[in-house]
Structure 1
């Protein structure tokens, strides 16, 4: 039996890589001890002087299968990607597609007028325009040195 020297820094490096992979992935655990993962749509949030612009990737999902709810400080999106059932006489199918339900809550960096939100859904990309409240538009913060 060979004697191997234990290196604690090697384990810390492994832990750091695992944590980095966790934050880079677009999957979240569905339960505390559950090994199954739910897929959540990738999002992009852009802020301008007048509004927040939110884009979400939702390929293969019909608009009727989406539920979008907007509050003054968050966007709640849920939906379901339904599988296509095909009957084949021969062969097997292997898929990496995710089918099933998802939900995501995206906190917003500014308060918005949730009654004036506009949405556009084309080619699997959902565009939400979230206009800011007048208080947020005129907000000036003094910085003391």
Structure 2
């Protein structure tokens, strides 16, 4: 059983203010602009051939697997994104440049919004 290093015991919790602003694994940004959703995912070190982007029934799947033979390590990535509007799946575009995957998902022009408006009582 490994004992904690003394530095960790003394510093434990002292970095709380800096932890408040950590990203906690949020390696992507998703926003809507004009008539499309734009998703950017930080995936440094991957080759484009190691990444897979698929669209299936309103769900975008982003996955990748990278093996670093010099370090003897393997990284995997998988995340799913669901969208609140109908996407024109024939026009989805993906680009990988400088470690950032950008996926553009155009909102379907003829998308019919379904649902029922709920009256708010006051």
TM-score (norm 2): 0.65
For each residue in 1:5-45, what CA deviation from the matched residue of structure 2 results, as whole angstroms up to 9, or x when unmatched? xxxxxxxxxxxx9xxx8xx522xxxxxxxxxxxxxx71111
User: Unmatched 5+ residue regions in structure 1?
Assistant: 1-16, 27-40, 87-97
- Is the aligned partner of 1:60 residue 2:45? yes
User: Unmatched 5+ residue regions in structure 2?
Assistant: 1-15
- Is the aligned partner of 1:80 residue 2:65? yes
Greater percentage in strand = 2
- Aligned with 1:111 (options 71, 86, 90): 86
Give distance in 1, aligned partners of 2:33 and 2:117.
20
Larger Rg: 1
- What RMSD in Å do the two structures reach over aligned CA positions? 3.0
Greater percentage in helix = 1
- Aligned with 1:121 (options 93, 96, 121): 96
Give the C-alpha shift of residue 142 in structure 1: 6.2
TM-score (norm 1): 0.56
Aligned residue-pair number: 99
Q: Which residue of 2 aligns with 1:93?
A: none
